[in-house]
């Protein structure tokens, strides 16, 4: 069992955060954040599947693989540090060196992350000055964590953070996190930055296994626009200050952690999907009784990824054929004569397709259901027992407006 708390990355013991307006690209707003633990942290991570990986992604992949422990994560918004050659790696090195100078930790214990415009060089002096400005402001308060979550936003309209407590070894453990992501979001590390912190004591390989497992049914199941980013990064830092006996094998404590981790990642995933660029509603697709887990994932992702489906959700158009069409080209094999399809929201539930046959339904009822701010397409395949849920958002005029002028 776990309990949700107020807070984010500073909710767990020993974690501090700070933010600053470094002027990386934006004016009159914060655009850098730092998360720090004096106690060394075990680290795990998952990263973009895009073969064009940002310099910071490659830096973090090396640290996650090779470093014994980490202390800090420094994030900038505005410029992605992707497709930037040697200068991009130099910017990562300079950021880590500035952390070493300010806080006395090794450069290979400093994670870095960037989000924003691809193909622009980071202003290194502004980065290092940002680190110098944040170091003395590091604070364990919940407010500092919230400020950090706001500093990493780009086209996001709301900051995204969550925290929970659970029990391990008779000790109360806290897990918190923050993320950003609004556009260029598509399954397989969904164009986002996410930072999780916990005071749990856990062996590194189990921390990595848990994170990799949870990502499959949370962050990898959201989409906004079908574009997979160069910068996707999800990191978790565990400093062990909860005082639990270190988790070295799967058992009740590991399962408690896994459940809490799933909740945190699902919570952040759904907020990100609902906050897609220009979005007016959360669009969910739930597939049940599929032949396999992979089929269920493929089918649900196809529904929320379809631009025609997303446009129908925006227009409250009960054109269920668009959802069936997306399922049909998804690559999953199924018999349409087994399928039932329903519209669901807080306004009610309506079946529109029954095992190969369309159902005559009340258009006004359908429009009311689809007009809610959270809409679910529920599909029963009647071919197995596998289930998956994917999240996206509607496709609006504002999405085009935002991305037609993204660099300005």
Mean pLDDT of the chain: 92
SS3 call for 6: coil
Closest to 127 in 3D by CA, of 84, 89, 96: 96
Q: What angle do CA 91, 220, 114 make, to 5 degrees?
A: 15
What's the pLDDT at 187? 43
pLDDT of 224 reads: 59
- List of E strands, 223-337: 233-238, 282-290
> Does 2-274 match 282-403 in CATH topology?
no
Q: Could you tell me if 260 and 175 are in contact, meaning their C-beta atoms sit under 8 angstroms apart? A: yes
pLDDT of residue 279: 77
Q: Is 144 helix (H, G, I), strand (E, B) or coil?
A: helix
DSSP string computed for 335-369: -GGG-EEEEEETTEEEEEEETTEE----HHHHHHH
Contact indicator for 355, 382 with CB cutoff of 8 Å: yes
Residues of the chain with pLDDT under 70: 182-191, 224-229, 402-403, 405-408
Give the start-to-end residue ranges of the domains of the chain: 2-274, 282-403
List Cα–Cα distances, 225 to 221, 287, 303, 390, in angstroms: 13, 21, 12, 14
CA dihedral 236, 406, 77, 197 (to 10 degrees): -20
Catalytic positions are 191
Torsion of the alpha carbons at 30, 234, 195 and 104, rounded to the nearest 10: -90
The CATH class that applies to domain 2-274 reads alpha beta
Sheet hosting strand 386-393, strand order edge to edge: 357-358, 348-354, 340-345, 374-380, 282-290, 386-393
Q: Supply the pLDDT for residue 195.
A: 97
The 3-state DSSP class for residue 396 equals coil
In whole angstroms, give the CA distance from residue 266 to residue 4.
13
Query: What are the E-state strand segments in 6-159?
Result: 15-20, 32-47, 70-79, 110-117
- Where are any strands of DSSP class E within 193-232? 193-198
Element (H, E) at 164: strand 160-168
Beta-strand relationship, 282-290 and 374-380: parallel
pLDDT in tens, 25-40: 888 899 999 999 999 9
Strand 193-198 with 171-180, pairing: antiparallel
pLDDT in the model for residue 311 = 93
- 27 by Cβ neighbours in 10 Å (0-12 / 13-18 / 19+) ranks as exposed
Q: What is the pLDDT of residue 408?
A: 58
**Which CATH number applies to 282-403?**
3.10.20.340
């Amino acid at each position: 069992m776990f309990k949700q708390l107020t807070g984010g990355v500073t909710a767990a013991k020993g974690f501090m955060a700070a933010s600053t307006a470094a002027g990386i690209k934006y004016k009159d707003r914060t655009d850098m954040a730092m998360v720090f633990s004096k106690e060394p942290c075990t680290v795990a991570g998952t990263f973009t599947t895009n073969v064009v990986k940002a310099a910071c992604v490659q830096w973090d992949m090396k640290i996650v693989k090779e470093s014994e422990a980490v202390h800090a994560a420094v994030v900038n918004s505005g410029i992605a540090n992707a497709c930037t050659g040697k200068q991009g790696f130099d910017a990562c090195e300079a950021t880590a060196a500035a952390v070493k100078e300010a806080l006395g930790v090794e450069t290979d214990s400093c994670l870095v992350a960037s989000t924003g415009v691809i193909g622009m060089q980071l202003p290194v002096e502004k980065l290092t000055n940002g680190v110098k400005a944040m170091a003395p402001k590091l604070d364990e308060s919940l407010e500092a964590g919230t400020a950090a979550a706001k500093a990493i936003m780009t086209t996001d309209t709301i900051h995204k953070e969550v925290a929970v407590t659970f029990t391990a070894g008779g000790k109360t453990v806290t897990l918190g996190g923050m993320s950003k992501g609004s556009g260029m979001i598509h399954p397989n590390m969904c164009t986002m930055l996410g930072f999780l912190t916990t005071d749990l004591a856990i062996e590194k390989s189990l921390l990595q296994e848990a994170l990799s497992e949870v990502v499959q049914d949370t962050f990898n199941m959201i989409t906004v626009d079908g574009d997979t980013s160069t910068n996707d990064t999800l990191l978790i830092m565990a400093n062990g200050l909860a005082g639990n006996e270190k988790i070295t094998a799967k058992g009740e404590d590991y399962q408690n952690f896994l459940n809490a981790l799933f909740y945190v990642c699902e919570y952040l995933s759904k907020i990100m999907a609902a906050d897609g660029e220009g979005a007016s509603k959360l669009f969910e697709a739930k597939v049940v009784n599929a032949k396999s887990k992979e089929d269920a994932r493929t089918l649900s992702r196809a529904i929320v990824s379809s631009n025609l489906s997303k446009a129908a959700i925006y227009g409250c158009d009960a054109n269920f054929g668009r959802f069936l069409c997306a399922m049909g080209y998804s690559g999953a094999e199924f018999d349409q004569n087994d399928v039932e399809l329903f519209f669901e929201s807080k306004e009610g539930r309506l079946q529109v397709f029954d095992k190969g046959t369309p159902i005559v339904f009340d258009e006004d009822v359908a429009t009311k259901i689809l007009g809610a701010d959270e809409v679910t397409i529920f599909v029963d395949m009647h071919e197995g027992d596998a289930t998956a849920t994917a999240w996206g958002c509607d496709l609006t005029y504002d999405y085009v407006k935002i991305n037609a002028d993204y660099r300005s």
